[in-house]
Chain A
Amino acid sequence: MTEIINIPFTKTDGVHTLQDALNLTQDEIDALGDAGLEAMKQQRFDDWVAFITAPVPEMDDEIVENVDG
């Protein structure tokens, strides 16, 4: 089984901060290079910021589950 390497990173724009990680094989890391890895991190951050700053739709009824047991 190919070993997955965890690469934690934090990105912020001063308002929003994402604490994330890339999970890649060594071959993927080698293929991406530093610039590719950085681009992947930035893309993850940009996607996330776009998501959390988008208007939130109406909440579903199922959202709260207070369960004992």
Chain B
Amino acid sequence: MADRYWVGGSGTWDNASTANWSATSGGASGASAPTSADNVIINASSGSTFTITLGANITIFSADNMQNAVGLTIDFNGYNITCVGNNVNIWRSNTTTLHLGTPDVYFTYSGGVGTRSIIGNTQTTNQLNVYVTAGTDIVALINNYNNVDFTGFSGSHANASNKSIYGNLLVSSGMTWTDGAGTTTFAATSGTKLITTNGKVLTSLTFGGVGGTWQLQDAMTLGSTRSATLTNGTLDLNGQTLTALSFNSNFSSARTIAFGLGKFVLSGNATVWNTSTITNLTITGTPVVDLTYALAVAVTVNPGSLPESSSISFNIKAGTYALTLALGNVRNIDFTGFAGSFVSSTRTIFGNLTLSSGMTVTAGAGATTFAATSGVKTITTNGKLVDFPMTFNGVGGTWQLQDALTLGATRTVTLTNGALDLNAKTLTTGIFSSSNSNVRTLTMTGASVVVLGSGASAWTMATSTNATVNASGSTISMNSASAKTFSGGGRTYGTLVQGGAGVLTVAGSNTFADISNATQPATVRLTAGTTQTVSAFSLSGTSGNLITLDTTVAGTRATLSDASGTVSVSFVSIKDINATGGATWDALTANGNVDAGNNLGWNFSAVVDRRIIRQVFRPVFREIFHPIF
């Protein structure tokens, strides 16, 4: 192999001219043009500010000594250069070298010996297009490139150095992208660049060109300790899966993640997803992120306050770690397969919530707000206690329980906007609150609600403007041992059950299928001046454990109204109650009832319950008279 030195400043490089070639550095010209057996050297003695213009396709062994050629411009002029050698520095540019035309350089060594370092410039335009077409050796890329194409290469790409690729990247299926600390930055500032990895595992990547777009042509997988970062431009998953340790786009520059039907699969711990800063962040497609870390080190997902339209679904598929969903918004969150703990925080869910039976949910006062504005979203808790407040607040949204939902005894379910459908399941909560004027629907048909909380707002729909309550066949049990109030806002409910020792105050004039009790002694207190319309009224105490039925203002009546039939209570002490509506209201003292005064409409006579009489004597009468008829 001979060395050929460029001399004389600007000139034409073809396969014939000897005008600019010398056998020595800065020597006389006249040496033969370099061939595939020669190494080209362009150095400080070649010129100061000068342009080498190709006049033909060039084939050389290598160009391993151009790093000192300050002021060099290579005008490819429609031609290309092929390096057939395997020098340590098969191509070694000065960082300032400029390229004109289409700077295609082919590296065709087909053996397996050594390492070919291809050192580009550090310019932001017109970088080399590198084609490594053969070889089973090692190739290292250093500095900047436009397109990088390894088609035909079967060796290893060393990854010790950082590099920037301004064009496309094509990794061949036969090569290895060796793991290493070097980061590959995709730095295009315009157009759509294609990334094809052919199933090879890459290292850490940054997508960072202002105005650039990078489109995956197949699934992209980074090493298990390597992360992907989007600082600028558009990352288009193009329906593919991007697998990495973590993903970070916590910046304020203009950037887009185009999911299409693609997704991220993140295998790391610590902060695995970070879009905390959503300024200038656009998300399109159906955003899905799977978390697959399977061990116990804590994991944080920080999605930022993305709007519903671009919120991301997270599937937490494994692990025994503590997951923090930092203050932010998500679409669906599905814990199927997860056996760790979900750390309490304030968050917004625009889609479905699915807890796994093997996980735990950390208690906390931070509310989870369900904020969908369309469609039916599902809530599946798989028997897990949800010990944080839940707020349903999406204009036009619907949330449907898929199983029983149990909140902590001090937690509140708030229905602010939208429709909450209990789907014939049991809702257990500390407080139920929906006292506002927004359009909202509570569907309890065939369902049961257990309210464990106490106080004046244990159940409050006091302001029921624009509220629809569907409650056929439902039960609301007010179970607190302390005083509690049911403020129905004048709506129609199923059965209201006094289920705890604390006084149950019923506020507002409501309609119930029934008012009953599951414990005694206890008190049901109607707000003075209100009317409760019922289809049945089945309060009943036991001897020595009376149910007290009275009003909130001694001496001021409330009204119970039943349109037909006979109401019969037992062991109830009644005061200030006007029983009316058309039904017969029996509170026979013979059945242990007490007239405590100021009542209207009740039959307190000391005779045996007529129903008992009928039950006892009807069969006897039938027996007597049946033979006659």
Q: Which residues of A contact B (CB under 8 A)?
A: 4, 6, 8, 15, 17-23, 43-44, 47-48, 51-52, 54-60, 62-69
Distance between Cα atoms of A56 and B408 in the complex (Å): 9
Task: Judge whether B457 is part of the interface by a CB distance below 8 angstroms.
Answer: yes
> Which chain B residues lie closer than 8 Å to A44 at the CB level?
383, 404
Instruction: Determine the chain A residues whose CB is within 8 A of the CB of B448 once the complex forms.
Output: 17-19
By a CB distance below 8 angstroms, the chain B residues around A18 are 404, 426, 448
**CB-CB nearest in chain A for B315:** A1
A19 and B426: CB pair below 8 A? yes
B453 at the interface (CB under 8 A from A): yes
Note all chain A residues with C-beta closer than 8 A to B412: 62-65
Q: Which residue of A lies closest to B425 (CB)?
A: A19
Minimum Cβ distance to chain A for residue B54 (Å) = 55
Q: Can you list 12 contacts pairing A with B, beta carbon distance less than 8 Å?
A: A19-B404, A19-B447, A20-B425, A21-B402, A23-B382, A48-B404, A51-B428, A56-B452, A58-B410, A60-B410, A63-B457, A65-B367
A63 to B404: give the CA distance in the assembly, Å: 21
Query: Is residue B406 contacting chain A, with contact meaning CB distance below 8 A?
Result: yes
Chain A residues with Cβ below 8 Å from B409 are 51, 54, 56-57
Distance in angstroms from B331 CB to nearest chain A CB is 15
Q: How large is the interface on B (under 10, 10 to 19, 20 to 34, 35 or more residues)?
A: 35 or more
User: How far is it, in angstroms, between the C-alpha of A22 and the C-alpha of B403 when the chains are bound?
Assistant: 7
Bound-state Cα–Cα, A44 to B103, Å: 69
- Among the listed B385, B393, B463, B481, which residue makes an inter-chain contact with A51, where contact means beta carbons less than 8 Å apart? B385
**Complex contact B404–A67 (CB within 8 A):** no
Between B393, B404, B411, B447, the greatest number of chain A beta carbons within 10 A of the residue's beta carbon is seen for B404
CB distance from A61 to the nearest CB of B (A): 9
Q: Which of B383, B385, B447, B481 counts the most A-chain CB atoms under 10 A from its CB?
A: B383
Which of B402, B411, B425, B482 touches A63 (beta carbons < 8 Å)? Answer: B411
Q: Find out whether the CB atom of B404 lies under 8 angstroms from the CB atom of A68.
A: no
**B518's closest neighbor in chain A, by CB?**
A15
Pairwise interchain contact A65-B414, C-beta atoms closer than 8 A: yes
Measured CB to CB, the closest approach of chain B to A27, in angstroms, equals 13
Determine whether the beta carbon of B438 is less than 8 Å from that of A69: yes
User: Judging by beta carbons under 8 Å apart, are B457 and A67 in contact?
Assistant: no
Give the complex CA separation of A67 and B195 in angstroms. 50
Set of chain B residues within 8 Å of A55, measured between Cβ atoms: 481
Judge whether B450 is part of the interface by a CB distance below 8 angstroms. yes
Q: Report chain B residues within 8 Å CB of A43.
A: 383
- Roughly how many angstroms separate A47 CA and B403 CA in the complex, as a whole number? 14
Shortest C-beta distance, B553 to chain A (Å), equals 24
User: Is B455's CB under 8 angstroms from A59's CB?
Assistant: yes
- Measured between beta carbons, the chain A residues less than 8 angstroms from B380 are 4, 23
Say yes or no: A66 contacts B385, CB within 8 Å: no
Query: Is B463's CB under 8 angstroms from A66's CB?
Result: yes
Residue of B whose beta carbon sits closest to that of A57: B410
Q: Does B548 contact A (CB under 8 A)?
A: no
Question: When each residue 363-376 of chain B gets 1 if its CB lies under 8 Å from chain A and 0 otherwise, what string results?
Answer: 00101000000000
B191 to chain A, nearest CB (A): 35
B60 within 8 A of A: no
Decide yes or no whether B302 CB sits under 8 A from chain A.
no
Residues in A neighbouring B424, C-beta threshold 8 A: 8, 19
What are the interface flags for B381-416 relative to A under an 8 Å C-beta threshold, 1 for contact and 0 otherwise?
011010001010100000000111010011110101
Chain B CB count within 10 A is highest, among A15, A48, A64, for: A64
For residue A20, which residues in chain B have a CB less than 8 angstroms away from its CB? 383, 403-404, 425-426
Q: Is the CB of A47 within 8 A of B431?
A: no
Checking A17, A47, A59 against B454 with a beta-carbon cut-off of 8 angstroms, the contacting residue is: A59
B380's nearest neighbour on chain A, judged by CB, is A23
3 nearest CB pairs, A to B: A20-B404, A21-B403, A56-B409
Closest Cβ–Cβ distance, residue A12 to chain B (whole Å) = 10
Bound together, the chains give a CA A63 to CA B367 distance in angstroms of 10
Complex-state Cα separation, A51 to B453, whole angstroms: 13
| Residues of B close to A48: CB separation below 8 A | 383, 404, 406, 426, 428
Tell me, rounded to whole Å, the shortest Cβ–Cβ distance linking B452 to chain A: 5
* Residue in A22, A56, A64, A69 whose CB lies within 8 Å of B480: A56
Known A18-B404, A21-B402, A52-B452: A47·B436 in contact at CB below 8 Å = no
Tell which of A21, A52, A58, A63 touches B479, judged by Cβ atoms closer than 8 Å. Answer: A52
A60 touches B425 (CB 8 A): no
| Cross-interface CB contact of A64 among B365, B403, B431, B438, cutoff 8 Å | B431
CA distance A57 to B460 in the complex (A): 20
Question: Does any Cβ of A come within 8 Å of B433's Cβ?
Answer: yes
Which of A15, A19, A47, A69 is most buried by chain B, counting CB atoms within 10 A of its CB? A19
- Tell me how far the C-beta of A51 lies from the nearest C-beta in chain B, rounded to whole angstroms: 6
A59-B438 CB under 8 A given contacts A18-B426, A21-B425, A51-B428: no
Which of A23, A57, A60 is close to B365, meaning CB atoms less than 8 Å apart?
A60
**Whole-angstrom distance between the alpha carbons of A58 and B454 in the complex?**
9
Is the beta-carbon distance between B404 and A23 smaller than 8 angstroms? Answer: no
A18 to B481, CA, bound (A): 20
Return chain A residues, CB-CB under 8 Å to B402.
6, 21, 23
**Option from B354, B391, B455 in Cβ contact (under 8 Å) with A65:** B391
**B393 near A67: Cβ-Cβ < 8 Å:** yes
Q: Verify if B154 is at the interface (C-beta below 8 Å from A).
A: no
B418 within 8 A of A: no
* Chain B contacts for A60, CB-based, 8 A: 365, 410-411
Please give me the residue from chain B that is nearest to A43 by CB atom. Answer: B383
CB of B437 closer than 8 Å to a CB of A: yes
Query: A58: which B residues are within 8 A, CB to CB?
Result: 410
